[in-house]
Structure 1
Amino acid sequence: MTVSFAFLRLDMSVVMLLLLVIIYVAFISLGLPDAVLGSSWPVMHRDLEASVEYAGLIALIISSGTVMSSLLSVRLIRRFGIGIVVSVSVLLTALALVGFAMSQIAWMLLCLAIPLGLGAGAVDSALNNFVALHYKAKHMNYLHSFWGVGATAGPLIMANYITLSEGWRDGYWVIGLAQLALVVLLLCAIPLWRKAAQSNNQVEEDHDTLVTNRAALKIHGVSLQLLVFFCYCSIELGTGLWAASFLISEKGTLASEAAFWVAIYYGGITIGRFVCGAIAQRFSESSMIRMGAFLMVFGAILLALPVQNGLANLGLLLIGFGCAPVFPNTLHLTPIRFGKKASQAIIGLSMATAYVGNTLVPPTLGVVLKYSSFATLPFILLALALSLLWATERLQSRHTPSRDIQGETSCQPSLSK
Structure 2
Amino acid sequence: MFSLLLLIIYLSFVSLGLPDAVLGAAWPIIHEEFGVPISFSGSIYMLISCCTILSSLKSESLRLRFGTGKITAFSVLLTAVAIFGFSISPSLSVMLFFAIPYGLGAGSVDAALNHYVAVHYSGRSMNWLHCMWGIGAALGPYILGFVLQRGESWRSGYLVLSMIQATLTIILFLSLGLWGKEEKKEKTEEKKTPMSFRQILSITGAKECLVSFFLYCAIEQTLGLWSGSFMVYSLKIEAKLAASFVALFYFGITFGRFLAGILAAKWQDEALILGGCGILFLGLVLLFCSMVPGQEVKLFGMELRQLLVICALLLSGLGCAPIYPAIIHSTPRNFGAENTSALIGKQMAAAYIGSMSFPPFFGVLAKIFGTGLFPFFSTVLFFGMLFMYRNLLYKTRGKRGKIER
TM range (shorter): over 0.9
Equivalent position of 1:138 in the other structure: 124
**Structure 2 contact 189–338 (Cα < 8 Å) conserved:** no
Equivalent position of 1:6 in the other structure: none
The CA deviation string for residues 155-185 of structure 1, in whole angstroms up to 9 with x for no partner, is 0011112346661111111100111111111
Q: TM-score, normalised by structure 2?
A: 0.92
Equivalent position of 1:5 in the other structure: none
Q: How far off is 1:222 after superposition?
A: 0.9
Amino acid at match of 2:383: L
Amino acid at match of 1:316: L
The CA deviation string for residues 71-98 of structure 1, in whole angstroms up to 9 with x for no partner, is 0000111111111111111110000000
RMSD across aligned positions (CA): 1.9
Instruction: After TM superposition, list the pairs within 5 Å mapping 1:109-120 onto structure 2.
Output: 109-120=95-106
- Give the Cα–Cα distance (whole angstroms) in 2 for the partners of residues 48 and 25 of structure 1: 33
- Give the Cα–Cα distance (whole angstroms) in 1 for the partners of residues 248 and 125 of structure 2: 24
Q: TM-score, normalised by structure 1?
A: 0.90
Name the SS for the 2:267 alignment partner: coil
| 1:313 partnered with 2:313 | no
Equivalent position of 1:342 in the other structure: 339
Equivalent position of 1:246 in the other structure: 230
Amino acid at match of 1:335: P
Can you give the 5+ residue segments of structure 2 that lack an aligned partner in the other structure?
A: 296-304
Equivalent position of 2:204 in the other structure: 220
68-77 or 40-49: bigger deviation: 40-49
Can you give the 5+ residue segments of structure 1 that lack an aligned partner in the other structure?
A: 1-12, 411-417
Q: How far off is 1:298 after superposition?
A: 2.1
The CA deviation string for residues 211-254 of structure 1, in whole angstroms up to 9 with x for no partner, is 34332122111111111111111111111111111112222222
Amino acid at match of 2:23: L
- Give the Cα–Cα distance (whole angstroms) in 2 for the partners of residues 115 and 294 of structure 1: 39
Q: How far off is 1:53 after superposition?
A: 1.7
Percent of residue pairs identical: 40
Name the SS for the 1:33 alignment partner: coil
For this pair of structures, how many residues does the alignment match?
A: 391
**Structure 1 contact 238–362 (Cα < 8 Å) conserved:** yes
Name the SS for the 2:321 alignment partner: helix
Equivalent position of 2:388 in the other structure: 391
Instruction: After TM superposition, list the pairs within 5 Å mapping 1:292-303 onto structure 2.
Output: 292-303=276-287
249-258 or 351-360: bigger deviation: 249-258
Equivalent position of 1:379 in the other structure: 376
- Give the Cα–Cα distance (whole angstroms) in 1 for the partners of residues 268 and 190 of structure 2: 33
**Structure 1 contact 336–401 (Cα < 8 Å) conserved:** no
| 1:230 partnered with 2:214 | yes
- Give the Cα–Cα distance (whole angstroms) in 2 for the partners of residues 206 and 282 of structure 1: 29
| 1:260 partnered with 2:260 | no
Equivalent position of 2:403 in the other structure: 409
The CA deviation string for residues 346-401 of structure 1, in whole angstroms up to 9 with x for no partner, is 01101101101111111111110110011111011111111111122221122135
**Structure 1 contact 161–168 (Cα < 8 Å) conserved:** yes
370-379 or 16-25: bigger deviation: 16-25
| 1:99 partnered with 2:99 | no
159-168 or 211-220: bigger deviation: 159-168
Instruction: After TM superposition, list the pairs within 5 Å mapping 1:344-359 onto structure 2.
Output: 344-359=341-356
Amino acid at match of 1:265: F
Name the SS for the 1:202 alignment partner: helix
Instruction: After TM superposition, list the pairs within 5 Å mapping 1:56-67 onto structure 2.
Output: 56-67=42-53
**Structure 1 contact 216–222 (Cα < 8 Å) conserved:** yes
Q: How far off is 1:293 after superposition?
A: 1.1
Closer/same/farther in 2, CA of residues 57 and 205 from structure 1, 3 Å limit = farther
Equivalent position of 1:82 in the other structure: 68
Q: How far off is 1:297 after superposition?
A: 1.8
The match for 1:322 among 299, 304, 319 is 319
Closer/same/farther in 2, CA of residues 280 and 104 from structure 1, 3 Å limit = same
The match for 1:332 among 329, 332, 335 is 329
The CA deviation string for residues 28-63 of structure 1, in whole angstroms up to 9 with x for no partner, is 000001011001111112222232122110110000
- Give the Cα–Cα distance (whole angstroms) in 2 for the partners of residues 347 and 19 of structure 1: 21
